[in-house]
Amino acid sequence: MAGPQAQDRPAEPPPGGEQAADDRFRQLQHLLPYGGLAVSLALVLALGPHHPRSVAAAVGLSAAAALWHRFMAVPYPPPAGRQGQAIAYCAGVLLFIAGLVLLSPYFGFFGFTGYLQVALLPRWLRPPAIAVNAAAMALSQVGGIGHLHGGGAAAYAGLVVVNLLVAGAITYQGIEEDQRSRRRARMVDELAEANRKLRETMAENAGLHAQLVTQAREAGVLDERQRMAGEIHDTLAQGLTGIVTQLEAADRFDGEPLRRARHMALARRLARESLAEARRSVQALRPGPLDAAAHLPGALADLAERWTQTSGIAVRVEVTGDAVPLPPALEVVLFRTAQEGLANIAKHAGASRAGLTLSYTHEVVVLDVLDDGAGFDASAAADRAGRSEDGHGYGLTAMRQRLRQVGGALAIESAPGDGTALSASVPAVPAAPDPEPGEAPGVSAPGTDAAARENGTDPSSGPPAHAADQASGPLAHGTGPALGPPPYGRSRTEPPRALPHPAPIRPRGSSRRAPRPRNRDAPPPAAPGSWTMPCDHSPARRRRPPRRP
């Protein structure tokens, strides 16, 4: 069905499968009417009647039918908004078929094409259109209107019924099959579109996955780089600083063999310890003192003793509260904080006394590092922390990063001439107990669940909410970033060894009385004019070393 109107397309073109079927049906609708008219008119001209009026009428109606088909035809399926034109076109075709059949029964060849045009009509108009076309076809089959006399009328009625049943059934079957084919083609095209979108989504997801893998790899490299930077600063840098200090001291005592030998021995010991710590850092192991001691308090005591021998500055170590084992990540962070704090005192403070206080509470574990040295402007130091071009100032930044990774915090109080108080706090998350022999990890001993419920706790609920919130990330597994749980020197159930209590730190020109310790196992109160580590760790009540006169 060609022509300007026949070339119109729906607003939304059908998918590929439907488009091919529609194109074939349009070609059939376009060619068959012309072919039927040509065959019918040729038979009329060849076989009669040869009356001039009849021939002229047949030729004129055939030409009018061809022009009607040329300019009024509607493509299949009818575009939106052109249903009225489709109904008018089909009505005109049926009228031309009826008129031509009345002129000559040979126009039945053209009348057969009327069944094709029924598909253009709405469903409710198809039965009457098929009936009209069947009546015209039956008239052609009985030989025309002149054969309806006598038995011809009965034959005509029978042919009408046969045409209605046979041609109508075939037409309806063809229309329904076409609808089913269109639905199947639409489903196939929708599935193809869905598969295309799925492939695009999968390709996009693959790209995102590759991007995430790259970002995770870069983040891992950055974390390892930061870990190695911190380990180098805490081991090699501090060890080399101590070695240089001891060698310079040995040069100053060139004329005193005993003192020179002592400083050289300290330098050799620092070199060996730094080498061992560097190897442990490469293997992501805990510091040696934490492996040698069962608990953090003992490791801090060993650290203070070695630091006093190296620096010549007396340091007092105090533990308050019930000392309990902590996850390895927390112990490493607190130990490195104490190590860096003492190193800063030796390099910058010019102090005569220092102190370490480790305080255990239900919610946090706090480590205080104090000295009676020169002090500094804490706010100005925070502004330029980690930005020094010569590498200095990295220690405080590294401490903050370590504490932040385990949910802790760092507070510094200092002023020029007032000494320095450094406070590091981490969540009080107890370490996982070692499983008993023959007991599977994670399985509690018989009766422990009932005992825990009697005390008002649920053993399956884990640590308290506040501890879990503060210990998110690496604390949940007992390991910090790139720090694996190493073996301890002694069992965790073994009580910490007793800490030495040296003479209290007595700043110059001070007459302040130290507060009474809160735990019963602490040493007796210090003499007047001394200061000890504070037990109250709130910033409002933390005490600084007194100003030197």
Radius of gyration of the chain (CA): 50
| Secondary structure class of 548 (helix, strand, coil) | coil
Q: Which conformational region is residue 6 in: left (phi greater than 0), alpha (psi within -120 to 50 degrees), or beta?
A: alpha
Residue 358: the pLDDT is 93
Three-class SS state of 431: coil
What tokens does 304 get? 């203070």
The per-residue pLDDT for 402 is 83
As beta bridge partners, residue 371 has: 354, 420
- Domain segments of the chain: what residues? 16-198, 312-434+448-549
Question: 358: which DSSP letter?
Answer: E
Q: Given this model, what pLDDT does residue 240 score?
A: 78
312-434+448-549 CATH choice from 3.90.190.20, 3.30.565.10, 3.50.50.60, 3.40.50.620: 3.30.565.10
List per-residue pLDDT tens for the chain, 549 residues long. 334 344 444 444 455 555 666 677 778 778 889 999 999 999 988 887 778 888 899 999 999 999 999 999 888 778 888 889 999 999 999 999 999 999 999 999 999 888 888 888 888 898 899 899 999 999 998 988 888 877 788 888 989 998 888 877 887 777 787 778 878 888 999 999 999 999 999 999 999 999 899 888 888 888 777 767 766 666 677 677 778 877 887 788 877 888 888 888 888 887 887 777 776 666 555 565 655 555 788 889 888 888 888 888 889 999 998 888 888 888 888 988 998 888 888 888 888 889 999 999 989 999 999 998 888 887 766 655 545 444 455 677 888 888 888 889 999 888 888 889 989 999 988 776 655 544 444 444 444 444 444 444 444 444 333 333 333 333 333 333 333 333 333 333 334 333 344 444 444 333 333 333 344 444 444 443 344 444 344 443 444 444 443
Does residue 77 contact residue 22 with C-beta atoms inside 8 Å? Answer: yes
How far apart, in whole angstroms, are the C-alpha atoms of residue 175 and residue 169? 10
Instruction: At 376, list the tokens.
Output: 């500094």
Find the angle CA(51)-CA(53)-CA(55) to the nearest 5 degrees.
70
| Residue type at position 197 | K
Task: With beta carbons less than 8 A apart as the criterion, state whether 509 and 549 touch.
Answer: yes
Across 126-152, b (16+ Cβ under 10 Å) vs e yields beebbebbbbbbbbbbbebeebbeeee
The end-to-end CA distance of the chain, in Å, is: 112
Pairing mode of beta strands 409-414, 364-371: unpaired
Tell me which DSSP letter residue 295 carries: S
Dihedral through CA 394, CA 400, CA 404, CA 409, nearest 10? 180
Q: Give yes or no for a contact between 530 and 506, defined as CB atoms under 8 angstroms apart.
A: yes
Contacts of 518 (CB under 8 A, 6+ apart): 320, 535
Angstrom distance (rounded) from CA 213 to CA 208? 8
Residue 316's SS3 state is strand
For residues 277 and 231, what is the distance between their CA atoms, to the nearest angstrom? Answer: 9
Distance of CA 67 to the CA centre of its chain: 67
At 499, is the secondary structure helix, strand, or coil?
A: coil
Q: What one-letter code names the amino acid at 526?
A: A
Who's near 543: CB < 8 A, 6+ residues apart?
A: 421, 531, 534
Comparing C-alpha atoms, which of 276, 278, 403, 398 is closest to residue 329?
A: 403
In SS3 terms, 385-401 reads as CCCCCCCCCHHHHHHHH
Number of H helices, E strands in the chain: 17, 5
* DSSP for residue 413: E
DSSP H or E run through 529: none
Neighbours of 16 (CB within 10 A): 11
What residue has token string 């015209």? 136
